[in-house]
Amino acid sequence: MEYDVAIIGAGAAGCSAAITARQRNMSTLVLYAGDGALGKTKVIDNYPGFPDITGPDLLYKLRDHAQYMGAELVRGLVRRVMPLGDAFSILAGNDLYTAKTIILAMGTARVRLLDGEEALVGQGVSYCATCDGMFYKGGTVLVVASDHEAVEEAIYLSTLAKVLYVKEKPHDTGDLPAEITVLPGKPLSFSLKGEQIVLMTDQGEVVADGAFVLRPAVAMTQLIPEVATENGKIVLDKDLQTSIPGVFAAGDIASAPLQAAKAVGDGNVAILSAAKHLILNKAKSKGEVQ
């Protein structure tokens, strides 16, 4: 199924966009990795109409409303959005979705890349075990893991290759099978040695055929590298459209102030712009406008 809109993030901005998308009768998919900033907020006392509401209470009210309107909410970390003619292909977890428009509503989650990581994406560094694991069949791969979610991917990779597991952040790995080796050391940087990838840690070098970096968040530059940014900020027009027609941004990821009410307003602007984009595209395909 090709959705009219895929919204990435189910916080204040994403839920607001989803509610109005459904009001405009758009088929709506919301993909979200977790609870975002509202999940961490004890009390919000400046959200209109809800004095003293807790962040999680507000978040679940917004999500319930989006679902009540008919939006489909699916939990999954979006790793990549790929332009595909007039639509977009979205990789979330290990599943692929298609949508005509995209709303980026991922909040402020920042990802610190390792030195050398960005330059080696696609040349030995990957973020998706299911997509790229087969390239390393019979070889040795590194898993650089930030949390327990990486364990399942590491186990999948161990059916294809020898797996060396390095923790970027401390987490429990008690359920890793014995054939996966957990190495000590804090990852610092990536480089190439011939066709092999080298991970430098504070305990020394680890060499492998490929590396899978598995974090609970994805850098904007990895998620959709085609979107223009300036000083780390997404370039947006007044309709909250990015440099790619059909891709919009809302909420904390779009601009300051980082406030729930502003994120909700952004979600509303972005989805109305997406609805206008769909109408124009439809008219163009019928030859009604140039």
Ligand X SMILES: Cc1cc2nc3c(=O)[nH]c(=O)nc-3n(C[C@H](O)[C@H](O)[C@H](O)COP(=O)(O)OP(=O)(O)OC[C@H]3O[C@@H](n4cnc5c(N)ncnc54)[C@H](O)[C@@H]3O)c2cc1C
What is the binding site for ligand X (CB under 6 A)?
Answer: 8-14, 31-34, 36-38, 40-41, 44, 46-47, 77-78, 105-107, 109, 217-218, 223, 251-253, 258-261, 263
Comparing CB distances to ligand X, the nearer of 127 and 136 is 127
Cβ at position 57, least distance to ligand X in Å: 13
User: Closest CB to ligand X among 36 and 208?
Assistant: 36
Provide, rounded to whole angstroms, the least separation between the CB of residue 272 and ligand X.
17
Measure the CA–CA gap between 57 and 47, rounded to whole angstroms: 12
Which is nearer to ligand X, 11 or 133 (by Cβ)? 11
Nearer to ligand X, 152 or 205 (CB): 152
* Minimum distance of ligand X from residue 138's CB (angstroms): 31
Closest among 140, 155, 145 to 195, alpha carbons compared: 140
Q: Identify whether the C-beta of residue 176 lies closer than 8 Å to the C-beta of residue 152.
A: no
Q: How far is the CB of 131 from ligand X (least distance, A)?
A: 15
State the first-to-last Cα distance of the chain, in angstroms, to the nearest integer.
28
Q: Could you write out the DSSP letters of every residue in 193-216? A: ETTEEEEEETTEEEEESEEEEE-S
The alpha carbon dihedral of 269, 272, 84, 81 has a sign of positive
To ligand X, the closest distance from the beta carbon of 107 in angstroms equals 2
Q: Which residues fall within 8 angstroms of residue 158, CB to CB, at 6 or more apart? A: 177, 179, 180
Nearer to ligand X, 8 or 227 (CB): 8
Residue in 269, 255, 270, 264 with CA at minimum distance from that of residue 65: 264
Q: Which is nearer to ligand X, 33 or 143 (CB)?
A: 33
> Residue for token digits 């909420």?
251
Q: In degrees rounded to 5, what are phi and psi of residue 172? A: -75, 130
Cβ 92 to ligand X shortest distance, Å: 7
